[in-house]
Structure 1
Amino acid sequence: MTGCHAFRRLQTLALTLIVTAGSFVAAQADTKIKMVLNWKYEGPQGMFFLAQDRGYFKAEGLDVSFDQGNGSGAAVPQVANGAYDMGFGDINALIELAAKKPDEAPIGVYQMYNRPPFTVAVKADSPIKTPADFVGRKLGGAANDGALKLFPALCAATKIDCTKVEVTNMQPNLREQMLMKDQVDGVFGYITTIRFSARLIGIDPEKEIRFIKFGDYGMDLYSNAIIVSRKFAKENPDAVKGFLKALNRGVKDAMADPKAAIEAVQKREPLIKPEIERARLEATLSDEMTSPEISKIGHGDINDERMSKAIDILVSAKELPRTPKVGDVFDRSFMPPLADRPTAIKAAM
């Protein structure tokens, strides 16, 4: 009996060790990441969803959940206040927070949009031709819109008096309608967003809308990046690296198979119009994600000199209390190696 009892105890101990080891492995492979996107579920979000649906995050030991966003600018404070671990937000809003509250500001770790998409859209027949024509006019934008937040910087760059321009807030879904109904003279936004939102309500943006682009007036700024809270990055550096490795695969997959990317969006938002969202994705890839510099540094990275100049533009225009260093707003150490990242961005036909 003694031998039998000893054997059973050994069996129980072995089983306990197996269960404990299994639980440890599960815990190790189940790092949760809560992420807020820049906007509602649209074509460009397919890059994230492909990575999720194809198990790329899971392969890195991650359990990632996505929430729709309320503007690129809104993602920054939401990550800063701990509501989210990571976000897809405007790096310029991050720079501003880093200048004001450096200890609270998240850090950029992967630059998704490297060309400035910021614009004021006007009707094609509008007398507004340049920013100087904004004076005495009424412009509208969503409160958390990245372009609206950068308006003071545009005013400074073009030497116009912002106080002589009336700015009104509006719901994002009303932007194009209010413009076409002459309720405002111009609207703030991202070029691709406005262009395809207009198409969804029967407006031909190529014929009925004209874009005054911030980038044409000395505002060579970066745009949306993957941002992460400093606390999360410090405590979970491997999780951040794994996330970027998986997302990088999702970006490449979306380029290779845009149709699959849109299907991934449609699983989450069945009411989208696939043909419009595919065109939106392809425009994002070709316009907002295609900068000549990525042929050298690869997608996801930044040019330090260009970022430094962007920081100076914002600090000067917004009279920020300090000038963050490039390293205060962007940390490339979490990215996959250059050999694994795209050096050209183009959707397959």
Structure 2
Amino acid sequence: MNKNKTYIVVIIIMILYIFPIDRVQGLDEAVLQLRWDHQFQFAGYYTALWNGYYEEEGLEVEIRSAFTEEGDVLQATQEVAEGDADFGVGAVDILIANDEGLDLAVLASIFQRSAVEFFMKEETPFSTMADLVNLQVARRKDDLMDIELQAMLMAEGIDPKQLKLYEHRGNFAIEDLGDDGFDMVPIYLRNILTYPEEEGVQLKSIRPIDYGIDFYGDSLFTRGSLAKENPDKVEAFKRASLKGWEYALENPEEIIEKMVVAFPPQEKTEKEFRAFNVFQAREVLELTLHPVVEIGNINPHRWWGTQEVLKKLNLVSGDLDRENFIFSYDRILQQQAERKEKFLQIFSLISVVILLIVLIIYLTAKSTIRKLEKMFQREWEENKRKEGIIIYQARLAAMGEMIANIAHQWRQPLNNLGLILNNIEDAYHYEELTKKSLEEDIERSRRLIHKMSETIDDFRNFSNPNTKKDEFSIHENIMMVLDLMEERIKLHHIEVVFKDISTKKAYGYSNQFAQGIFNVISNSIDALIDEKGGKRQIFIGIYEQGNDVITEIEDTGGGISEAIADKVFDLYFTTKEDTQGTGLGLYMTKVIIEKNLKGSLHWKNTDRGVKMMIRIPCKGVDGNVTD
């Protein structure tokens, strides 16, 4: 009896661990800090509040203006970092704040283009950025809009210090463009064009994008610690906000009328305030690229590129934490999903999907093992000498490494399948499971299984025991190897660059060549992992020379020491730890290329690292047409 009670207590503890109690708690408070006063620039957040989207996500949200009652301006990055707000709206200031150690994470980029533009009168003498040196350009110290002007100048080879800084408070307006004012002023959201009485002045403008400066505009962000500790809250706020933005962009007139009531204008008439927001609505719609681009879409490389521009301007000095800077709900919940996966026992149809995966793994592995056993047995019988044994050992090592790569390739699809099962379970528990959602989840599962099946096909091609010489494409052969190593390459942020690619086919044993290429690229990856600093790159070139096809594989891993230069192709020589290397890879590769494929293998140090040069014959060369 006591043992039964113990079992019950353990089960209850496990259930509470997997399904936390906070699901039934009341609304969770959240504060959003804007970067300016209330206007259509932030319409999506008002809409999420007024339409109840935040409440549906279990959130009670307060939206704060950047202006206090005392007239002070609050910095969204500072407010969020210090915990006075949970979420904020920013742009390049997020990167600058992160470089100062504030630890912020971007959730969604609402403005797909920067809202900064530089205006001047039509008659102002301007044709190139160099003309600005002779003009009165409105620049202020620590002005975020000025960062994009500096970037444009730098892109054209002009030192920004050649343009004077001025003292100026408040927004720039059309009145600032005059004989006693400035020749060019920075404007956000083209607000200088808002009112009808200003139509009599002819203006022209320049945009950062015209000079290759492609920064994101308004973006939603939060504290990095909040994203890690309470990802459910962050994801809920993001989801409701994006839903609000979609509604606001498709129903601007309705939202503007609500804004007129909610935010009575202080310095404008009601008519002016309405006209101002109608104008902003058009500009905001253009900047979001809706409906062509998904609202809030983030291209990480654009943020990385912006960071590099800020580095050149000496506005930041460090590197971004690329793993955590952009919030990823799925990544943070991955471990939780893995725990829940063990307790999921639901619908028979999903069980069939899981059984199908297991069956594919079993049948494929069994078939591959049988073929490998036959291949190794033939080679063992045909090669009683030492070289045959070494090749046997080396292929076993290569297969072990390849199976590890397949495990990496399968980890993400399996995690995604676990998340799909989790979603179905949640939908079932909350009575939200529909036929359509179930069909969509099943289709996603099938696509994942298909991708896993493709990985197995690549592995089977790699391990094909074919011993007949034939024509084969070197480029396709290398691509197959890279596909099998894809996860390892991505994990260590390695860039593979092709150059001088020839489609000329080689002649010999395709699978043996693939095994040699795998060893060479694997060594390059190991060298790049050990190399600290600099770009991690592998350059691959394929070209013809006489009756041969030459493959060059060069890495930026720092080169081979002169002390071991004569031992690179020696049997059992390795620079890796005892448990990590066999010393067979390059030795076996040299044997394959020179003996089995009648080619040659050489290496040399370059100013970037090591270049391996593999030469093998084309079909049609005397002595190579037949076996």
Under a length normalisation based on structure 2, what TM-score does the superposition of the two structures give?
0.44
Per-residue deviation at 1:73? 10
Q: Deviation per CA, 1:9-59: give whole Å up to 9, x if none.
A: xxxxxxxxxxxxxxx989933221111112211123222111111111111
Partner Cα separation in structure 1 for residue 93 and residue 52 of structure 2: 31
The residue number in structure 1 matching 2:217 is 223
Structure 2: which amino acid aligns with 1:195? L
The residue number in structure 2 matching 1:67 is 64
Sort the Cα spacing of 1:333 and 1:161 in 2 relative to 1 into closer, same or farther, 3 A. same
Partner Cα separation in structure 2 for residue 232 and residue 226 of structure 1: 14
The residue number in structure 1 matching 2:586 is none
Most deviating of 150-159 and 59-68:
150-159
Per-residue deviation at 1:87? 0.6
Checking the alignment, whether the CA contact within 8 Å between 1:62 and 1:243 is kept in structure 2 is yes
Q: Percent identity?
A: 21
The residue number in structure 1 matching 2:325 is 329
Checking the alignment, whether the CA contact within 8 Å between 1:110 and 1:244 is kept in structure 2 is yes
Checking the alignment, whether the CA contact within 8 Å between 2:172 and 2:186 is kept in structure 1 is no
Alignment of 1:115 with 2:113, yes or no, is yes
Checking the alignment, whether the CA contact within 8 Å between 1:244 and 1:334 is kept in structure 2 is no
Sort the Cα spacing of 1:107 and 1:252 in 2 relative to 1 into closer, same or farther, 3 A. same
Checking the alignment, whether the CA contact within 8 Å between 1:98 and 1:328 is kept in structure 2 is no
Sort the Cα spacing of 1:186 and 1:307 in 2 relative to 1 into closer, same or farther, 3 A. same
Sort the Cα spacing of 1:316 and 1:93 in 2 relative to 1 into closer, same or farther, 3 A. same
Residue in structure 1 matching 2:131, options 120, 130, 133? 133
Equivalent residue of 2:177, what SS?
A: helix
Partner Cα separation in structure 2 for residue 73 and residue 107 of structure 1: 19
Q: How does 1:133-282 map to 2 (within 5 A)?
A: 133-140=131-138, 145-180=143-178, 182-196=180-194, 199=195, 202-204=197-199, 207-271=201-265, 272=270, 273-282=273-282
Checking the alignment, whether the CA contact within 8 Å between 1:95 and 1:329 is kept in structure 2 is no
**Larger CA Rg, structure 1 vs 2:** 2
Sort the Cα spacing of 1:169 and 1:84 in 2 relative to 1 into closer, same or farther, 3 A. farther
Q: Which of structure 1's runs of 4+ aligned residues deviate more than 6 A? A: 24-27, 70-73
**Unmatched tracts of structure 1, length 5 or more:** 1-23, 336-349
Higher relative contact order (CA 8 A, sep 6+): 1
The residue number in structure 2 matching 1:318 is 314
Partner Cα separation in structure 2 for residue 229 and residue 150 of structure 1: 25
Per-residue deviation at 1:213? 0.8
Equivalent residue of 2:289, what SS?
A: coil
Structure 2: which amino acid aligns with 1:264? K
Equivalent residue of 1:63, what SS?
A: strand
Partner Cα separation in structure 2 for residue 174 and residue 220 of structure 1: 23
Checking the alignment, whether the CA contact within 8 Å between 2:47 and 2:248 is kept in structure 1 is yes
Q: Deviation per CA, 1:190-238: give whole Å up to 9, x if none.
A: 2433333xx27x3128x52221111111101212100101232233321
The total of aligned residue pairs comes to 301
Structure 1: which amino acid aligns with 2:289? T
Alignment of 1:96 with 2:96, yes or no, is yes
Sort the Cα spacing of 1:234 and 1:325 in 2 relative to 1 into closer, same or farther, 3 A. closer
Per-residue deviation at 1:175? 3.3
Q: Deviation per CA, 1:77-104: give whole Å up to 9, x if none.
A: 33223332111111x2212232342xx1
Equivalent residue of 1:172, what SS?
A: coil
Question: C-alpha root-mean-square deviation of aligned residues, in Å?
Answer: 3.0
**Unmatched tracts of structure 2, length 5 or more:** 1-20, 332-627
Sort the Cα spacing of 1:291 and 1:132 in 2 relative to 1 into closer, same or farther, 3 A. farther
Partner Cα separation in structure 2 for residue 72 and residue 154 of structure 1: 28
Residue in structure 1 matching 2:48, options 38, 48, 51? 51
Partner Cα separation in structure 2 for residue 87 and residue 275 of structure 1: 26
Partner Cα separation in structure 2 for residue 138 and residue 330 of structure 1: 39
Partner Cα separation in structure 2 for residue 176 and residue 329 of structure 1: 38
Under a length normalisation based on structure 1, what TM-score does the superposition of the two structures give?
0.76
